[in-house]
Structure 1
Amino acid sequence: MSKHPRAFKLELAKCAQYESSRELSRRFDISGGQIRYWSSVYQLHGSDSFLHKDYPYTSDFKLQVITAMRENKWSLGFTSAYFDLSTPGILFQWLKLYSCEGLSRLTPKNKGRPCMNHHSSEPKPSSQMTEQELREELDYLRAENAVLKKLEALAQAKKNKAKKRP
């Protein structure tokens, strides 16, 4: 989600057609460069600006944008405005990734935490375990037992301390 709503961007882009970006920048506390970028997107796309129809961007779309920029010798700002990207910074990242690692880096990656692998809740029978697995389970159970004993001792100490208070 964008920081500023689409209607706000359109309104500022329209205002930038006849007011200076510096004045608008002071009035709305937004950088002048951002306002100029919104204005150029508005000049190219009109009322259809800031829709980002191709979002999330596919690797084919990213490659198309990069090749159009190189073939036409367009600037970063103009290219991102021409393709109605949310910011020129996105295109800069695509160029950097493409120049370092090629087309494979332009493919979208899954975001967020990976899914958890749920292991079987039933333990393996001890007859099927190796000696090493049995030793590891024994060590784990001993540690778990020690922790539970400590927890019980702490609870008992807290109970005794509460009893001693008048």
Structure 2
Amino acid sequence: MSKHPRAFKLKVAECALSESSSAIGGRFNVTERQVRYWTAVYRIHGAESFRSTHRPYSQAFKTDVLKTMAANNWSLSYTSAFFDLSSPGILFQWQKLYAHDGISGLKPKKKGKPRVKKEPSAPKPSTEMTEKELREELDYLRAENAVLKKLEALAQARKKKAKTKR
């Protein structure tokens, strides 16, 4: 989601057609560079500006943008304005990824932490366990057994108490 709504960007870009970007930037509390960029997008796309529907951008789209930029010898700002990207910074990142990893670096990546799948581990057969592991398992099973016995005793006590109340 963009920091500024589409209507705000359109208003700033329209005002910047007749006034200086520094005056507009001061009035709307936006940087001059941002005003110039929005104005460039508005000049190219008109009222249909700032309606980017490419998210997430595909690898083919990113490659096409970079090839067009190189073929026409366009700047980052003009290319991102031509393709109605949210900012030239996105294009700069694509350039870095392409230079470092090639076309494979432009593949869209999933965001967030990867899910950790816990696979239930099958217990080792007792013949493969060491004596220490066997003792630990025995202690664990004894504790589990004691908890289950206590739980059963509590359930029986509740039943008995309920019967005596009637």
Name the TM-score, length of structure 1 as normaliser.
0.76
Which structure has the larger Rg over C-alpha atoms?
2
In structure 2, the partner of 1:99 is 99
Write the mapping of 1:20-99 to structure 2, written as runs, cut at 5 A.
Answer: 20-99=20-99
Q: How much does 1:125 deviate? A: 4.8
In structure 2, the partner of 1:119 is 119
Q: How much does 1:136 deviate? A: 9.0
Deviating runs (4+, > 2 A) in structure 1? 123-130, 132-139
Aligned partners of 1:52 and 1:86 also within 8 Å: yes
Identity %: 46
RMSD: 2.5
Name the TM-score, length of structure 2 as normaliser.
0.76
Q: How much does 1:124 deviate? A: 4.2
Where structure 2 has 5 or more consecutive residues not aligned to the other structure, the ranges are 144-166
Q: How much does 1:24 deviate? A: 1.1
Q: How much does 1:62 deviate? A: 0.2
In structure 2, the partner of 1:109 is 109
**Residue 89 to residue 132, structure 1, CA distance change in 2 (3 Å):** farther
- Deviations 1:35-77 (CA, angstroms, capped at 9, x unpaired): 1000000000001101112221000000000000000001111
Find the aligned partners of 2:62 and 2:16 in 1 and give their Cα distance.
29
Where structure 1 has 5 or more consecutive residues not aligned to the other structure, the ranges are 146-166
Q: What is the aligned residue count?
A: 140
- Report the 3-state secondary structure (helix = DSSP H, G, I; strand = E; otherwise coil) of the residue aligned with 1:33: helix
